[in-house]
Structures are given as structure tokens and as C-alpha cells.
Amino acid sequence: MPDEESQPDEASAEDQKSAETPAAKPSEKAPTNASAESSADAPANASAAEQPEEEEADPRPRPPAGGIADLLAEALPDVKFEAYQGMTDVIVEVERDDVMKIMPVAKDDPRLDLKFLRCLFGVDHEDEGLEVVYQLLSLEKGHDVVIKTRLPKDDAHVASVTSVWKAANWHERETRDMFGIMFDDHPHLVPLLLPEDMTDHFPLRKDNPLAEIEEWQGDELPEEGFGGAAKRR
């Protein structure tokens, strides 16, 4: 079968969105490679003279210039955040108190246009606290970003973003179920996936290990019958 004969649709599919996606790809790749080099260099250079300079640099790869992180900085000049290039997405870390400053702008600013909340979930980093992750996407511009915020375990609450994206409603309820993160000003923060009276037990936290699977105790079986037969002789 001829196998390389078909790149037919590329031109016809190239409306604005898909035209931007391939353009974004190489620029996303570049910093990842750079980081791989620098991180590989770092241990080798540990004893070299430039070590202090190396250490100053963030070990995490920088986001691509002119990408979503720069747009965020442009739209939100007075909010501090840290951005870096993750393996697939640009990841932006923000302070908990800034969440409600950032999210409405991220959604409504025409440069960002992050109108689509893909998903919202929690991560338990054990000693380093809990994390809430917002995955945002722009259907018009085709770019996306992951915004994260850290919460201490003993005071796990963050502003709800249901007023910005209605989609957050169930995601936040689920995150409350699983991690015990409270979302302030959520209209209806009651258990969703878990039983209604299960409000003090958060299954996806790491201090909730899975129960060990009980092994079938062969010798406790009756002598006669199904399990005992093999044991008898």
C-alpha cells in the first residue's frame, strides 16, 4: 500500500486555529531541549568556575518567549507569578490570594481568551501541601495553559472560580470530596461523588493508603470441600 501519498488536508484544514498550532509546536520544543542540555550540564559543571551563575538560574525551563506566559504577564502587570515550560504545557504557579485576580482576566482579556476550563483538580504533595490545578484553553486562539496554586494542608481553602466558569462547579465539588479543599463562595459545595455524610475523609490524599488486599487464607478453610481438597494430601 502506498503510504506517504497523503498529506491532502493540511491546506484545507488551515483555518486560524490549526495554522497557529504547528507554529506553536517548534517554539514549545525549543526550550525543552535547552533545558535538557542545561540540566545535563549542571551536574557536570558542579565544580566548574561558573557554578554560582548556574545555580542562580531556575532549573526549570523557561516558557517560550511571546507565548502564553508573556501574554499573562502583559495582561496582569501587578500580579506576581512563576512560569515555566512543563513537558507538554506552560505551567504557571500563582499565589492562592491571586486566583480571583487572575482568572477573570484570563477569561475575558482578548489577548488571552481562555474561555474554556478543561479541568480543575487537586494534587496532594504530602509535606509540600495541596495543589489546585486549573487547565485553561482558548478555543479561538488554540493556546492553553496550566495554572496552579499551593495550599497548606491545615488551611486548605481557595476562592471558587464558579463565577468565572460554570464548568468549575462540579470539578470543585469533586475536589472537595477527594482532597478536602474548600472553595470559598461556591454556590453548592456538597459531596458529589462520595456519600453525603462523608465529609471528614478524603480518599485521594496520600495519607489515605489503599487497604492491603487480604489474601485468601487457605489453611483456615474447612478440611472438606473446594479449597481443602488440595491441602489434604
Partner 1 sequence: MVQEQQLETVDINVNMGPQHPSTHGVFRMVLTIDGERVVDVEPHIGYMHRGAEKLSENMDYRACIGFQDRTDYLAQFLNEQAYCMAVEKLLELEVPERTEYIRVILCELNRITSHFMFLGAFGIDLGYFGTSFTYGFRERERIQDIFEEVTGERMMYGYFRPGGLAWDVPDNFVQMIRAVLPHTQQGLNDLDVLMTQNEIVAARTKGIGAMSAEDSVNWGLSGPMLRAAGIDWDLRKDKPYSIYDRFDYDIPVGSHGDVFDRYLVRLEEARQSIRIVEQALDQLPDGPIMPEKMPRRLRGPEAEVYAAVEGPRGEYGIYIVSKGGDKPYRLKIRPPSFCNLSALRDMTVGNYVADAVAILGSIDIVLCDVDR
Which residues lie near partner 1 (CB under 8 A)? 1-3, 5-10, 12-13, 15, 17-18, 21, 86-89, 91, 115-119, 121, 123-124, 133, 135, 139, 142, 146, 165-167, 169-170, 174, 178, 191-195, 203-204, 210
Q: How far apart are CA 113 and CA 76, in angstroms?
A: 13
Min dist. Cβ of residue 21 to partner 1 (A):
6
Min dist. Cβ of residue 225 to partner 1 (A):
32
Give me the amino acid identity at 151: L
Min dist. Cβ of residue 40 to partner 1 (A):
12
Nearer to partner 1, 191 or 227 (CB): 191
Nearer to partner 1, 34 or 48 (CB): 34
Nearer to partner 1, 152 or 187 (CB): 187
Min dist. Cβ of residue 96 to partner 1 (A):
19
Nearer to partner 1, 142 or 227 (CB): 142
Min dist. Cβ of residue 141 to partner 1 (A):
11
Min dist. Cβ of residue 232 to partner 1 (A):
35
Nearer to partner 1, 86 or 227 (CB): 86
Three-state SS string across the chain, please?
Answer: CCCCCCCCCHHHHCCHHHHHHHHHHHHHHHHHHHHHHHHHHHHHHHHCCCHHHHHHCCCCCCCCCCCHHHHHHHHCCCCCEEEEECCCCEEEEECHHHHHHHHHHHHHCCCCCCCEEEEEEEEECHHHCEEEEEEEECCCCCCEEEEEEEECHHHCEEECCCCCCCCHHHHHHHHHHHHCCEEECCCCCCCCCCCCCCCCCCCCCCCCCCCCCCCCCHHHCCCCCCCCHHHHC
Nearer to partner 1, 43 or 222 (CB): 43
Q: How far apart are CA 4 and CA 7, in angstroms?
A: 8
> Cell numbers at residue 104, please?
477573570
Helix (H, G, I), strand (E, B) or coil at 115: coil
Nearer to partner 1, 32 or 227 (CB): 32
Min dist. Cβ of residue 216 to partner 1 (A):
20
